Chain A
Amino acid sequence: MSAPGQEWDENSPERLYVITRGRSGLAEQTTFDLVTLIVSRSEPEPSMQPEHAAILRLCGAPLSVAEISAYLRLPISVVTVLLADLLAEERIEARSAVPQAILPDRALIEAVMHGLQKL
């Protein structure tokens, strides 16, 4: 039994559903996608769940949901749930990634490219 015990050691005793209190992010899915940028608006407080506090600490600078997920080593869905909590308490701000409209038109870029090549 010792060998599997050692393997298990790498993990944590708590399971993901405890962290999200049973929510799986089905409802929160629409609010966030992988590249939504998150910025914290307040300092973490001692009474917060450690994951919330960690997100607030991480997001001092804008960070995408995917990156938060990677740093916390938590699946996207879990992070989404946690972010939804924080958003509801207005502790974070979520900015969608660069909207499609702001990006220059592909045709325009191609025209510029061709123009440059002709020079």
Chain B
Amino acid sequence: MSIAEAPVTETGELKIVKDATCTFCGCVCDDMELTVEANKITKAKNACVLGKAWFFNHHIEDRPEATIEGRPVTFDEAVDRAAEILMSATFPITYGLSDTTSEAQRAAIAITDWIGGTIDTTTSVCHGPSGMAFQGVGEVTCSLGEIKNRADFVLFWGCNPAEGHPRHFTRYSLMPKGQFLPNGRKDRTAVLIDVRKTKTAKAMDYFLQLKPRSDFELAWALRGIVAGAPVDPNIEEVTGIPLDMLEDLVGRMKQAKFGVILFGMGLTMTRGKHINTEAVLALARDLNKFTRFAAKPMRGHGNVTGADNIVSWTTGYPFGVNLNRGYPRFNPGEFTTSDTLARGEADAALIVASDPMSNFSNPAREHLSKIPTVVLDPKLSETAKIATVAFTTATYGINTAGTVYRMDDVPIPLRPAFESPYRSDQDVLTAIEARIREKQLAAG
């Protein structure tokens, strides 16, 4: 039976939700004005094209609240089976979590702790390498507010905010007039370094097109120029960018009053990965000998930054954390989900708000389809289709309150637009955690 058939209060009146938060991307814009009619958002003032698609397409779907092997069951039966699956595994993994509230993330970590599992999030296939780089060389950081008010030099590297974060330019990094930038865009110099001349390039002052897989060499050449070290002119053959152009770039970076490098997955997903981001973070650090400079990753999902924060303050590490020995162990490559699945190690999985059956490698997908899984998702996905136990949940931010972290680690509260007949991720996970504890305590 579908609980979508259960009566939902419809007043027939318009409801306006002001200062609502969009949780589609890491910008987490919190100035939405939503018009809600009969449990459907019909207007989303201030939302970008992605935000509008997010708000207009998350209405109540007619799906069972819970299923076991595709068969609709009661919530209680599903919770019981989920607890049983996770408790009986020897190497259970918890994964996803970037599209849910921080309160739900905390509950998922608690479950993983009780069962001695491995907690990992979509960060590991996003900016996980940046997390490793932060540990390696540190992070000279700043908030998006500082960028808005101070950054007169903005370098985008391996990212395409024009398509991935459409309001980043207008809210934070390019267009706004800031405290020290009274003329907005005119007071800023904007540069893009990328393999592709994307739509972002059109909004820039300068575009440097580098050859694929040469980010590491480029970042180290720039570091060399910043330090005054001789750099081989053959760098052009490697990166596609002439040395004098790089020298000019460094000159402009040093002249900035406040510079920032905003980097994307062009660095983290390409060969080199964490050493690419390490080099870029070190470049920003080096520039502080001359001026103020920061570097920030452009985060994708609405609360992937929250996932890093919550996993960090609960375990001490940002992702890929094993709790099997009763204390946290962090080791990317060993405890990250893509690896534990592809090597066939995980023997059960709890997956929250993520679709690894669409996004992972063939060996990882093949193994995931063979092990028992508990999947929470508001929408049907390839992962939900293969779930042993599947829960349909409410959409965070649209149906549920809670907290998310913007890409600059600033926590933002959610103001839901309308109630869902489905439970929140947090409620489902808390119920599973309670059932696990009941069973563990009963077993002594």
Q: Do A and B make up one complex?
A: no
